[in-house]
Amino acid sequence: MQTNPPEAQPSSTSNPPPRKTAATSRLILVLAIVFVGMNLRPALLAVGPLIDSIQLGLDLSAVALGALITLPVLCFGAFAPLAPRLLRYQSAERLILLSLLILVVGIGLRSILGVFGLFAGTLVAGFSISVVMVLLPSIIKMHFPVQAGIMMGLYTTALALGAAIAAAVTVPLAQLPGSDWRWALAFWLAPVIIAAAIWWPQTAGGEHPRNRVHAAVPRLRGNWLAWQVTLFMGAQGAIAYCIFGWLPLILIDRGLTPVKAGFVLAAMMTVQLSTSLAGPWLATRGRDQRPAILAMMILVFVGFMGMLYGEITSVYWWSTIFGLGFGGMFSIAMALLVLRSPSPQIAASLSGMAQGVGYTLAAVAPLIIGVLHDYTGNWNAVAVFFVLLICGAAWSGLLAGRSKYIKAD
């Protein structure tokens, strides 16, 4: 097994900061990571609950709505591989701050420029969120090399919490007196501006990017371990987006009302917060991450098959089982970005590669489910496809979960 390269020892003439100051700085960084993470989902997921109002307000076709929903995922796939290259020009901390400010612009465009602003703003927001999502793991690897797994669990929990908050409050915001869908979307400007203000102190100082150009973008395309992490990220992402897009319709076809189907999805999203935080911690307790990955994939398989073929009266139990596996599956996949990386530079490059390919797969999988369902008229072929996704995620996850480090070219 490869080991981490030895950390550079401080010079005997340097003056280390007081412990209290260092601890305070780390705590502020933790809070900044959490608050930034909470703002990486609401700007995009707030569109879903308002889709009917947006369609009526802008007279959009079903094709346009489908493109609007798919556009953020395609942005993640297209822009994530490019994000590490930006490290040639600026530090990760400053790129994150700039991306948050660009996100503010994207949110604003959606609310004031009609159809053009809606799509242009979504594109801008997708780009800015892609950059932040790729670079934050490298920040965690740099500042928390020992607690990287726990910190990635905290970060993914912040992502999930932000999504849950957006799903819960967006529609009530649009229903306030004098408000509409534009004001509900524009509301998410405020927390992003606050997140940028909280992150701003992290941009002070740091090494000039010209001094680390050659280490900033390691090449990983020929590395098999990097592809194992990437395939696991893609397969679990495909599972997630298939569930987000199709589970309510599956449950409605099984006899639930739309309201109850929505409650099942909301309950599942709430349950997954627990393993989103605990998953990486459990995964780092043993020799490697394979037992935790296998356990999560078994929960996902049992929960999905139960929701599709089990007693409909027990659907909340099945969704709970799925949610536990789903939350841990995603958080461990994110944790592998730093657990398999011996340096922040490799963590950034792996993050860009894994999320770029992963979100591209995640965008395609729901379309395949739609074709299968339309062609067969039932959910049996979809079940087979879903089982193949789970098997692919388990296979790649068990390979990626071995205790190794990536060697960059």
Give all domains of the chain, ordered by start, each with its CATH number: 22-203+210-217 (1.20.1250.20), 220-409 (1.20.1250.20)
Residue 384 has phi, psi (to 5 degrees) of -65, -45
Q: Is the pLDDT of residue 112 over 60?
A: yes
Per-residue pLDDT tens digits for 131-149:
898 888 888 888 887 777 7
Per-residue pLDDT, 409: 60
Q: Is the pLDDT of residue 208 over 50?
A: no
Q: Which of 104, 124, 137, 103 is nearest to 33 (CA)?
A: 137
Which residue would you say has higher pLDDT here, 285 or 52? 285
Q: Is the pLDDT of residue 4 over 60?
A: no
Q: What percent of the chain has pLDDT over 90?
A: 17
Per-residue pLDDT tens digits for 322-359:
999 998 888 888 888 888 888 877 887 888 888 788 87
Per-residue pLDDT, 18: 56
Q: Comparing 155-159, 166-170, 381-385, 390-394, which segment has the lowest mean pLDDT? A: 166-170
Q: Is the pLDDT of residue 12 over 80?
A: no
Q: Is the pLDDT of residue 30 over 60?
A: yes
Give the mean model confidence (pLDDT) for residues 218-246. 84
Q: Is the pLDDT of residue 207 over 60?
A: no
Per-residue pLDDT tens digits for 48-80:
667 667 777 787 776 676 677 777 777 877 787
Give the mean model confidence (pLDDT) for residues 116-126. 88
Sign of the torsion formed by the C-alpha atoms of 27, 29, 30 and 36: positive
Residue 334 has phi, psi (to 5 degrees) of -70, -40
Average pLDDT value over all residues in the chain: 80
Q: What percent of the chain has pLDDT over 70?
A: 88
Per-residue pLDDT, 391: 94
Which band of pLDDT confidence, cut at 50, 70 and 90, is reported for residue 163? confident
CA angle 36, 41, 44 (to 5 degrees): 130
Q: Is the pLDDT of residue 274 over 70?
A: yes
Q: How far apart are CA 37 and CA 19, in angstroms?
A: 27
Per-residue pLDDT, 331: 86
Q: Comparing 113-122, 191-200, 257-266, 361-370, which segment has the lowest mean pLDDT? A: 257-266
Q: How far apart are CA 337 and CA 41, in angstroms?
A: 19
Q: Which of 151, 108, 107, 109 is nearest to 129 (CA)?
A: 107
- DSSP structure class, residue 254: T
Q: Is the pLDDT of residue 179 over 60?
A: yes
Give the distance, in angstroms, between the CA of residue 186 and the centroid of all CA atoms in the same chain: 22
Q: How far apart are CA 3 and CA 403, in angstroms?
A: 9
Per-residue pLDDT, 296: 93
Q: Which of 319, 293, 297 is nearest to 306 (CA)?
A: 319
Which residue would you say has higher pLDDT here, 102 or 260? 102
